[in-house]
Structure 1
Amino acid sequence: MKVVVIGATGFVGSHIVNELISRNIQVTGISRNEKVSDKNNLKYVAADVKNVEALAEILKQHDVVVSAFGGGWTNPNIYEDFINGSKAIQQAVKQSGVKRFITVGGAGSLYLSDGTQLVDTFPQDNPFLPGAKAARDYLDILKEEKELDWAFFSPAIDMHQGITIGRTGKYRLGTDYPVMDDDGKNILSGEDLAVIIADEVENPKHHQMRFTAAY
């Protein structure tokens, strides 16, 4: 199996790359800058995701495209950049002929028990609000996609670099609502996010839908 990971050197993307290559899957990692790999089943390619034609050429002859693209949390234009970049990636996947597309979005579009979305509970001065809104709005765009066999993954609400649980290989799946533990917490490590994505790559369960997971 040959898989492309877009955003391969970021926090989420690097975990996904590591999990995939540990399973002897051939990985092409795409990032803004060239990087040298010391693994036989991993190569890095520098690419601008907004260059649809060039990106589509790189994606050809792969089985799955995984996007961990992010607009940069400190980027003042993150909303526009994330939407435009995500739409360009989606178009490049279609042009490449690859049918399976898995994208990692945010938890902000998950629904709470009262039917509101998490992002709508953020205070207006929350620095993550523009990025969370962008991921939520891109999911609405992706829901209109009929040609690709896509899946949109929303991580747990509490999934960040400060989570030190590591790789357990254990998780519970959900769809539109956060998966809560017995203490009412919604937690996931970066390593186990990668396990979930790699499992979905190898054994697809979610088709043209959003899914989520946590402990």
Structure 2
Amino acid sequence: ITYKSEIMKVALIGASGFVGTSILKELLSRGHEVLALVRQPEKITLENEKLTVKGVDVLDTNALTNAVKNEDAVISAYNAGWTNPNLYNDFLAGSEAIQKAVKDAAKPRLIVIGGAGSLEINGQQLVDGPEFPAAYKAGATAARDYLNILKKETDFQWTFFSPAIEMHPGITTGRTGKYRLGKDQPVFDANNKCSLSVEDLAVVIVDELENNQHPQQRFTAAY
């Protein structure tokens, strides 16, 4: 595959997580220079001449601001931990700290990977529906509430991505490079499924980085 896009310097927050790992591989496969910002640098064993790994706590806004100040864009795959009892508050605190660091560093762009819970069907957000899984409610509510905060941001360019309703390790289609885009409603296929592999999520995010199709918008993607 040949990409005509310019090589970018990208800070990737949460690069050792489930989503972050795939985005990291996709960025490097397209030749971008990646600064991986993680809590535990030893978790990243990948070696690449275009990869720099740095340990940083997202709540340390000064350290984060200094880390991202020479980058062209920041991608946040920040996750406060699904089993974290304080997930709601920690996700919001971390996300707002990242937003502040990007603003303080005068960075042009922030791409945030959020949740599917804020997608709407018939005007109702999924997270508010009776069938929404309780195990994911705190994280999904936090991502939804953070999207509302981000929508007020006018000092820099942001994009918020809501994954498909089904986007988890059990989806094994791998990297097909094919997907369909949506905005505020889930994208369903002919079988009424809304799914995407994490590898194709990474394709979507890096395509957005390169093509800049959704400035100041939330969007979604699925097969």
1:45 aligned partner, one-letter code:
K
1-structure distance, mates of 2:111, 2:137:
23
Partner deviation per Cα, 1:55-92 (whole Å, 9 max, x = no partner): 00000110010000011000000000000000000000
Cα separation, partners in 2 of 1:82 and 1:192, compared to 1, 3 Å: same
TM-score relative to the length of structure 1? 0.97
1-structure distance, mates of 2:132, 2:171:
25
1-structure distance, mates of 2:174, 2:55:
29
Q: Does 2:52 align with 1:43?
A: yes
In structure 1, what is the equivalent of residue 39 of structure 2? 32
2-structure distance, mates of 1:101, 1:134:
18
In structure 2, what is the equivalent of residue 199 of structure 1? 207
SS across alignment from 2:110 = strand
In structure 1, what is the equivalent of residue 73 of structure 2? 64
The percent of aligned pairs where both chains have the same amino acid is: 54
In structure 2, what is the equivalent of residue 12 of structure 1? 19
In structure 1, what is the equivalent of residue 150 of structure 2? 142
In structure 2, what is the equivalent of residue 96 of structure 1? 105
In structure 2, what is the equivalent of residue 161 of structure 1? 169
Partner residue of 1:213 out of 211, 215, 221: 221
In structure 1, what is the equivalent of residue 5 of structure 2? none
Partner residue of 1:170 out of 175, 178, 181: 178
SS across alignment from 1:44 = strand
Partner residue of 1:151 out of 147, 159, 172: 159
Unaligned runs of 5+ residues in structure 1 are none
In structure 1, what is the equivalent of residue 96 of structure 2? 87
2-structure distance, mates of 1:48, 1:80:
16
1-structure distance, mates of 2:12, 2:41:
14
Contact 1:7 1:31 in 2 (8 A): yes
SS across alignment from 1:127 = helix
**How much has 1:125 moved relative to structure 2?**
7.0
2-structure distance, mates of 1:141, 1:122:
25
TM-score relative to the length of structure 2? 0.94
**How much has 1:123 moved relative to structure 2?**
5.3
Cα separation, partners in 2 of 1:184 and 1:123, compared to 1, 3 Å: closer
**How much has 1:177 moved relative to structure 2?**
0.2
Aligned-residue RMSD, C-alpha: 1.1
Contact 2:110 2:157 in 1 (8 A): yes
Partner deviation per Cα, 1:158-179 (whole Å, 9 max, x = no partner): 0011110100000011100001
Q: Which runs of 4+ in 1 moved over 6 A?
A: none
**How much has 1:124 moved relative to structure 2?**
7.9
Contact 1:152 1:210 in 2 (8 A): yes
Q: Which moved more, 1:36-45 or 1:182-191?
A: 36-45
Unaligned runs of 5+ residues in structure 2 are 1-7
2-structure distance, mates of 1:123, 1:160:
18
SS across alignment from 2:74 = strand
Partner residue of 1:188 out of 155, 171, 196: 196
